[in-house]
Each structure stands twice: as structure tokens, then as C-alpha cells.
Amino acid sequence: MTNSQLKKFCKEWQKRLRLQDWNVSVAFGILEDSTGLTKINPNFKVAKVIIDEEGNNELEITLVHELLHLHADPFSQDLQEKYKTNLEAMIELTARALVEAKYENNK
Ligand SMILES: [Zn+2]
């Protein structure tokens, strides 16, 4: 996937997830221990998403996962450690379901 394709996917999913009021920049990068990372500034509705494409053939799911973190951000901050795994699982399963639904609907 090229950088411009990634940006196009980001615009598309911002729209699908009703995140058009956010200023999201997305780029490929190298990450230590995850496939995606998002830095969020909720006050200005600004987010920076990094996607590591090394060995990742589910880039669109990773992108949607990271974008869903914007919706989860207000209740992610003070979340107890024991619930963080549940939140990650919920985001990941939702991202997968949404991407699957997109391609099922396009059949
Ligand atoms: Zn996550």
C-alpha cells in the first residue's frame, strides 16, 4: 500500500466512523511492539496515526482499529489496568467486523 492509498483509506474511514471533525494525519512508520499507534490530542481533535506495514497484511483493519481509539479516548484515560485488555479486544473485534461488513456489502 502506498502512502496516498493509506491517506485515502483514512479519509474514507473517518467518514464511515463519523470522525470528519478530527484532523487525522496518517503515515507508515516502524513500531517496536505493535502494528499501529495513535497519538491523540482531544482538546484540538488532532490525531497522529502510525501504521507499521512490516509483516502486516491487514493494514485496513489496523487503520480502523486506530481510528476507533479516537471514539474510545474519553473513557480510555482513567481506565483501570484490568479493563485495558477488554477495551483493546472490543476495538479490535469491532474493527474486524466493520472491515468485513464493508467488503461483504461490496460483493
Ligand atoms: Zn489499540
CATH label of the domain that carries residue 62: 3.30.2010
Find the domain containing 17 and state its range.
3-105
The 8-class DSSP code of residue 107 comes to -
Q: How far is the CA of 71 from the centre of ligand 1 (A)?
A: 12
41: amino acid identity, one letter: N
The per-residue b/e assignment along 22-48, b for 16 or more CB within 10 angstroms, e otherwise, is bebebeeeeeeeebbbbebeeeeeebb
Q: How far is the CA of 105 from the centre of ligand 1 (A)?
A: 25
pTM: 0.94
Q: How far is the CA of 69 from the centre of ligand 1 (A)?
A: 7
Q: Are 26 and 51 in contact (CB under 8 A)?
A: yes
Give the count of domains, the chain.
1
Q: How far is the CA of 48 from the centre of ligand 1 (A)?
A: 14
Ordered per-residue pLDDT tens for the chain, 107 residues? 899 999 999 999 999 999 999 999 999 999 998 999 999 999 999 999 999 999 889 999 999 999 999 999 998 888 898 899 999 999 999 999 999 999 997 76
